[in-house]
Amino acid sequence: MKNLNFIVILGIAIFMATCKKDDPPPKQPELYVSIHSTVDQVTDSSASVHAYLQFDGTLNGYGIVYSSTNALPTFGGVDCEYISSNNLEGNTFTAVLNNLTSGTVYYLAAYAKIDNQYIYSETDTLGTNGYLTDIEGNTYRIVRIGDLYWMADNLKTTKYNDGTDIPNLTDHTDWSTDTIGACCWYDNNSAFKQTYGALYNWYAANTNKLAPSGWHVSTGDDWQNLNTYVNSDAKSIMSEDGWYDVAHQPANEGTNRYGFNALPAGCRDADKDYYTTFFIDLFMYTAWWRIEEGINYGVVYGFHYFSTEIASHYVHKESGYSVRCVRDE
């Protein structure tokens, strides 16, 4: 019996010693790419794109592939162009796309050739800036943020899109009692027009005639869409300069990552109890009307120089705030 046990144990040992495990399959090269555009460097014809890659194997080349028609751009793909890069620092490289078409959405992906095999990041989109002209001939930049096309400048028209004039009310009592629709410049000074645009009361914003044809004054849904896309990060849509704190010291913490270019336009606050208004917070604060009607108040989205989030709050409909428009779908 002991001999039998020995034979069985020996047989198992021999079997285990002679049985070779299957070799693991060769490890495929891996490319982890996070891609985003440096939107403040996007123009109507160019864009700077940064990419991060991590890989195993021999790197034979890398860059960006892009197309305005092919939603899955690949190296050598139909209607695809590419730009190679040679400035890898650590795991990051930059590529500049030139000769792009104004107001166009491009599909793009980072690529790397590893051990002679092309590997791609997930496809992203990039919208070049376009331009929009209102009924008065004022020109505005256009930027694509998420799924929406936004004006990248504050509205500055003094006419509705049917050609009728918007009353420019300079008197504080007249402004505080208006329920038809009015506009003004900050501090009643037209020198602020080009940079900061006009301030409008809620009644003008809600006429359905304020935005250029094919566009509309931003809605709550529009702002929710933008907020979600930028993670409610006020700094990411704030201009890189032009902001000051209460001590009138520069407070430029904005990155303008998405090209929204929010400037501190201030507002015209209304005090209905005393039938007056006052201009406040130029260089420190900005906010924009949304067009949905509240119960007794209007709603704006905005932030101060110190804000980290884009916030909404109720205001008197007789107050004056900036307007951004969104292209109709």
Q: What is the DSSP string of 45-83?
A: S-EEEEEEEE-SS-EEEEEEEEESS-SS--TT-TT-EEE
Residues in CB range of 111: below 8 A, 6 or more apart: 62, 63, 64, 65, 74, 75, 82, 118, 119, 120, 121
Helix (H) or strand (E) holding 296: none
C-alpha separations of 150 from 36, 122, 133, 205, 327 in Å: 19, 25, 13, 16, 7
What is the phi/psi pair of residue 216, to 5°? -145, 155
The residue ranking higher by pLDDT, 30 or 207, is 207
The single-letter code of the amino acid at 306 is F
Domain covering 32-127, topology: Immunoglobulin-like (2.60.40)
pLDDT at 23: 54
Mean pLDDT over the full length of the chain: 85
Q: What is the pLDDT of residues 121-158, one digit of tens each?
A: 888 877 787 889 999 999 999 988 888 999 999 999 99
Residues in CB range of 287: below 8 A, 6 or more apart: 267, 300, 301, 302, 303, 315, 321, 322
**How confident is residue 277, by pLDDT bands cut at 50, 70 and 90?**
confident
267 closest CA partner among 323, 226, 209 = 323
Q: Domain segments of the chain: what residues? A: 32-127, 130-327
User: Is 109 in contact with 62 (CB distance < 8 Å)?
Assistant: no
Q: Is the pLDDT of residue 120 over 80?
A: yes
Q: What is the pLDDT of residues 178-226, one digit of tens each?
A: 999 999 999 999 999 999 999 999 999 999 999 999 999 999 999 999 9
Lowest mean pLDDT among 8-22, 186-200, 208-222, 258-272: 8-22
Residues in CB range of 25: below 8 A, 6 or more apart: none
pLDDT at 3: 40
Q: Is the pLDDT of residue 61 over 70?
A: yes
- Region 254-271 average pLDDT: 91
Lowest mean pLDDT among 52-61, 90-99, 267-276: 267-276
Query: How far is Cα 120 from Cα 33, in angstroms, rounded to an integer?
Result: 8
**How confident is residue 22, by pLDDT bands cut at 50, 70 and 90?**
low
